Amino acid sequence: MELEKVIDENRQGEALLVPGQEGQRKLFLESYGCQMNFSDSEIVASILGQDGFATTKDYREADVIFINTCAIRENAEQRVRNRLNEFKSWKSHKPDLIVGVLGCMAERLKEKFLEEEKIVDIVVGPDAYRDLPQLIGKVQGGHKAVNVILSKEETYADITPVRLDSNGVTAFISIMRGCDNMCSFCVVPFTRGRERSRDPESIVKEAKELFDLGYREVTLLGQNVDSYLWAGGGLKKEILTEEQRAHAVNFAQLLERVALVSPDLRIRFSTSHPKDMTDEVLHTMAKYNNICKYIHLPVQSGSSRMLDIMNRGYDREWYMDRIRAIRRIIPECGISSDIITGFCTEAEEDHQDTLSLMEWSEYDFSYMFAYSERPKTQAARKFTDDVPEEIKKRRLSEVIALQQKLSEKKTKAQVGKVHRVLVEHESKKSDEMWMGRNTQNTVVVFPKEHFKPGDYADVLVERCTATTLIGKAVKN
């Protein structure tokens, strides 16, 4: 998997809420990291909702506290540890309180939380959420509880997620779980297990239900959505015959099925992998207006040498071919990326290759990180983390500065144009303005007038900041 497109830092550690009934046991859920973690928290809320729990935004009201964790970067883990110490302190005032760790960090550290650090009661990996009611009961009986068994089948396809703290307009739909790519820097295959795709009928059904409830945008989630493949009957992709593959549902076909739910339902997806993205997917995107013209295509490095060490499965020229295909088939498509600086053995020449590829690709946005070694990864076993921290940080600052310039250029190019915008919620800076995004995923703000969340508005952009378009609604 990629760096999992780690979402905005201001959402890291977000408490999630769904209304409950008086007298129900209270659950406090806090999620860190990627979109998949937030989606998983909605599954957890659904499972525990069936067991009599309602969520709360105040952990001091909770009977059970769960942190859904991220293991992608070291600083994410440190924030989780700090938060757990806060809960441990509160538990001294509320001895019956149950505190648990969910997700990737739970899978990676397993019993260490219980045995060495003694700051939690439950440790549960991403494939064991159905076991949560039983594990809570075990803790109430005076025992610690752990289930970090990874599954080759679990997709939670039959569980209707509880849309936590939702704006009622946008929602996530998980289409697959796990990852078969073994990128040398990435811990995800060890924390989320092998790749498995979800029945397309259950995905389309969930999209239809969301649309009927008033949602107008869904994001299809997977560690590598381009490798989605459903052959039915629990058949595994790696053992399919050519004939079975020919009759299986691939990602392009799934995209089309979801797009046909309604022309008023916008479709986004994340994350794509350069080695697996096909022209068929791009042509499907071009065919349907309601499939957003935006692709997150992580490159990680612009150096073919580094890409080989990273075990990415492509080189610089392959990646550039994919960008050319996007520009040819979907000329107006927005493109973003992930970039790592200071990976093992990275030389100045490799860094310059990354900067030049960024310039050439003209990314709308990038998620940029200095390399952080993760235990159990191939890089930790085979390579030395030999780039000094000050060089990692200097290279990262150069990457960030270049991306800021590219983002500003791309945003300014949208001024004077009319954009179709889905209204999501009030602007954070003004309660007189709506915020939404255009098809390229750029934020657009404009006066409220008669619009409401879930409406589409045609907005003439009159000015911009480095990353936000500002304008007014027009009749189109």
161 assigned to some structural domain: no
Of 86, 91, 102, 76, which Cα lies nearest the Cα of 13?
Answer: 76
Mean per-residue pLDDT over the chain, rounded: 89
Kind plus residue range of the DSSP H or E element containing 445: strand 443-447
282 lies in the same domain as 303: yes
What lies within 8 Å, CB to CB, of 396 at 6+ separation is 341, 342, 368, 369, 370
Claim to verify: residue 315 and residue 405 sit in the same structural domain: yes
Stronger pLDDT, 347 or 243, i.e. the higher one: 347
User: Could you tell me which of 288, 280, 180, 297 has the C-alpha nearest to residue 236?
Assistant: 180
**Do 438 and 403 fall into the same domain?**
no
Rounded Cα gap, residues 218 and 216, in angstroms: 7
- Decide if 5 contacts 296 (C-beta within 8 A): yes
Picking from 183, 248, 169, the residue whose alpha carbon sits closest to that of residue 216 is: 169
- In sequence order, which ranges of 110-262 are alpha helices (DSSP H)? 112, 132-140, 188-192, 200-212, 242-247, 251-259
pLDDT tens for each residue of 147-178? 888 888 888 988 888 887 678 999 999 999 99
Q: Per the domain annotation, does 4 fall within a domain?
A: no
Is 391 a domain residue? yes
In this prediction, residues 206-229 reach a mean pLDDT of 95
Is residue 158 one of the residues assigned to a domain?
no
Arithmetic mean of pLDDT, 30-34: 83
Asked whether residue 152 is assigned to any structural domain, the reply reads no
In a domain, 160, yes or no: no
Which residue segment(s) compose the domain that 426 sits in? 418-473
Average pLDDT over residues 106-112: 72
- Which of 159, 160, 157, 134 shows the shortest CA–CA distance to 147? 134
Collapsing DSSP to helix, strand or coil, 453 comes out as coil
**Do 272 and 181 fall within a single domain?**
yes
How far apart are alpha carbons 105 and 114 in whole angstroms? 13
Pair 274, 360 in one domain? yes
**CA–CA separation, 59 vs 420, rounded Å?**
40
What pLDDT band is residue 38 in, cutting at 50, 70 and 90? confident
How many domains are there within the chain? 3
Q: Above 70 in pLDDT, residue 23?
A: no
60-81: per-residue pLDDT in tens?
Answer: 999 999 999 877 666 677 788 8
Q: Could you tell me if residue 135 is inside a domain?
A: yes
Say if residue 349 is in the same domain as residue 220: yes
pLDDT value at position 5? 42
Secondary structure of residue 353 in the 3-state scheme:
helix
pLDDT band with cut points at 50, 70 and 90 for residue 107:
confident
Distances (CA, A) of 16 to 48, 147, 341, 399: 14, 23, 33, 33
